[in-house]
């Protein structure tokens, strides 16, 4: 008889979770951030409901500062009959001209991402938002439940989480309350890459190394993705062989120098690397507990 590998078991667990959400929540949505974790999540959702369509829409909260290649990759999904893609932009933020350069990274992320997300959840009255966060990403994530309860104000109370026994998820909520659901909680970054390799999953080309124009700031290589990047005096974009380990708003996401241009090369590089994936993200560095605070406030 077939024995299951660790990836088989992770896949089965994730599919089970996705089906629980679809079956027991009124109006679920899947957060689609365009990154590799979203690609894996989407693939799992297709598998979970095959041959039927995915029974919930995908939602991208667009901060308007995503890499252009991400947007192109996202928009290709619009032609897919199995998926229903929604895009939400915080228009108030746009009207106030909020951006990472003018307002700083935290305010930008808070307004365009966290507030934008809450707006969208309220607007569509979603009672469950499925996300691709993993427990290995960050230490407060390691503490979070798979079905993570949120108050009507979208707040997370880390000290008072519902016990989560076996694979029996308590999906009951009151009107206005919601859950965030993390089907790939137990996957590591390496698992994700191995699965992408095994299943041949399509990802944004930015993950692969290529010659790209970058500038170096505070030790971080920033891609000159469009002409909104204000160049400081004397700053000259240079062409470098770079790739991204994680994708977000381009001004906030650092590139790494790399020659890995295939999945296997990426995995090989990863196995030798000595820094964590989130290091390229500016957002985590402010204070030690910043992710936990953001999550309490409603950040995914």
Partner 1 sequence: MDGYAAPQFADIETYLDSQLKKSLLRFITCGSVDDGKSTLIGRLLYESKMIFDDQLASLKNESKKFGTQGEEIDFALLVDGLAAEREQGITIDVAYRFFSTDRRKFIVADTPGHEQYTRNMATGASTADLAIVMIDARKGVLTQTRRHSFIVSLLGIRHVVLCINKMDLVDYDQATYDRILAEYRDFAADFGFESIQAIPVSALAGDNVVSNSDRTPWYDGPPLMEYLDTVEIASDDAGKAFRMPVQWVNRPNLDFRGFAGQIVSGSVKAGDAVRALPSGKSSKVSRVVAMGGDLDEGVEGQSVTLTLEDEIDVSRGDVLCADKQPAEVSDQFQATMLWMSDSAMLPGRSYVIKMGARECQMQVTEEKYRIDVNTRAHEAGKTLKLNEIGVVNIALDREVAFDPYEDNRRMGGFIVIDRMTNETVGLGLINFALRRASNIHRQAMDVSKELRASMKGQKPVILWFTGLSGAGKSTVANIVEKRLAAMGKHTYTLDGDNVRHGLNNDLGFTDADRVENIRRVGEVSKLMVDAGLIVLVSFISPFRAERRIVRQMVEEGEFWEVFVDASLEAAESRDVKGLYKKARAGEIKNFTGIDSPYEPPQAPEIHLETDRLDPEAAADLVIERLDAAGLLGG
> Which of 135, 150, 240, 245: binder of partner 1 (CB under 8 A)?
135
Give the nearest distance from C-beta 215 to partner 1 in angstroms: 22
* DSSP letter (8 states) at residue 54: P
> Which of 52, 92, 155, 228: binder of partner 1 (CB under 8 A)?
52
Least Cα distance to 277 among 86, 141, 130, 92 occurs for 141
Using CB under 8 A, which residues numbered 97 to 116 contact partner 1? none
Integer-rounded Cα radius of gyration of the chain: 19
Give the nearest distance from C-beta 4 to partner 1 in angstroms: 5
Using CB under 8 A, which residues numbered 236 to 295 contact partner 1? 264-265, 267-268, 271, 273-276, 279, 288-289, 292-293
First to last CA, the chain: 40
Give the nearest distance from C-beta 53 to partner 1 in angstroms: 7
Residue 153 interacting with partner 1 (CB under 8 A): no
Using the contact rule CB under 8 A, the part of the chain among 59-67, 115-123, 131-139, 243-251 near partner 1 is 131-139
State how beta strands 147-150 and 220-223 pair: unpaired
Using CB under 8 A, which residues numbered 5 to 34 contact partner 1? 5-13, 15-16, 19-20, 22-23
Residue 4 interacting with partner 1 (CB under 8 A): yes
- Helix-strand-coil percent breakdown of the chain, rounded to 5? 40, 15, 40
Give the nearest distance from C-beta 22 to partner 1 in angstroms: 6
Give the nearest distance from C-beta 239 to partner 1 in angstroms: 27
> What would the DSSP string read from start to end of 90-151?
-HHHHHTT--HHHH-HHHHIIIIIIIHHHHHHHHHT-SEEE----TTS-TTGGG--SEEEE-
Residue 46: helix, strand or coil by DSSP? helix
Count of residues of this chain found to bind partner 1 when the rule CB under 8 A is applied: 71
Nearer to partner 1, 60 or 295 (CB): 295
Give the nearest distance from C-beta 254 to partner 1 in angstroms: 12
Nearer to partner 1, 22 or 206 (CB): 22
> What would the DSSP string read from start to end of 206-275?
GGS-EEEEEEEETTEEEE--STTSPPPTT---EEEEEE-SS-SBGGGB-BEE----SHHHHHHHHHH--S
Using CB under 8 A, which residues numbered 162 to 191 contact partner 1? 162-168, 170, 172-174, 185-186, 188, 190-191
Residue 201 interacting with partner 1 (CB under 8 A): no
């Amino acid at each position: 008889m077939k024995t299951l590998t660790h990836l088989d078991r992770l896949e089965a667990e994730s599919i089970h979770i996705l089906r629980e959400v679809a079956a027991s929540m009124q109006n679920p949505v899947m957060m689609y951030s365009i990154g590799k974790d979203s690609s894996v999540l989407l693939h799992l959702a297709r598998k979970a409901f095959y041959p039927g369509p995915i029974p919930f829409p995908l939602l991208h909260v667009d901060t308007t500062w995503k890499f252009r290649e991400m947007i192109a990759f996202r928009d290709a999904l619009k032609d897919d009959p199995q998926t229903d893609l929604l895009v939400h932009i915080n228009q108030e933020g746009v009207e106030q001209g909020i951006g990472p350069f003018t307002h700083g990274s935290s305010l930008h992320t808070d307004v365009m991402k966290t507030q934008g997300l809450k707006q969208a959840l309220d607007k569509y009255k979603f009672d469950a938002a499925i996300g691709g966060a993993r427990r290995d990403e960050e230490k407060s994530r390691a503490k979070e439940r798979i079905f993570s309860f949120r108050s009507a104000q979208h707040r997370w109370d880390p000290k008072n989480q519902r016990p989560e026994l076996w694979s029996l998820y308590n999906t009951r909520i009151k009107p206005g309350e919601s859950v965030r659901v993390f089907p790939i909680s137990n996957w590591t970054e390496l698992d994700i890459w191995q699965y992408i390799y095994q299943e041949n999953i399509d990802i944004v080309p930015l993950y692969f190394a290529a010659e790209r124009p970058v500038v170096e700031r505070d030790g971080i290589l920033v891609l000159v993705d469009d002409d909104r990047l204000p160049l400081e005096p004397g700053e000259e974009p240079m062409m470098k062989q770079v790739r991204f380990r994680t994708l977000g708003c381009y001004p906030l996401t650092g590139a790494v120098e790399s020659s890995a241009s295939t999945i296997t090369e990426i995995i090989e590089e990863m196995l030798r690397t000595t820094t964590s994936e989130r290091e390229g993200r500016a957002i985590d560095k402010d204070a030690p507990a910043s992710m936990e605070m953001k999550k309490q406030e409603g950040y995914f």
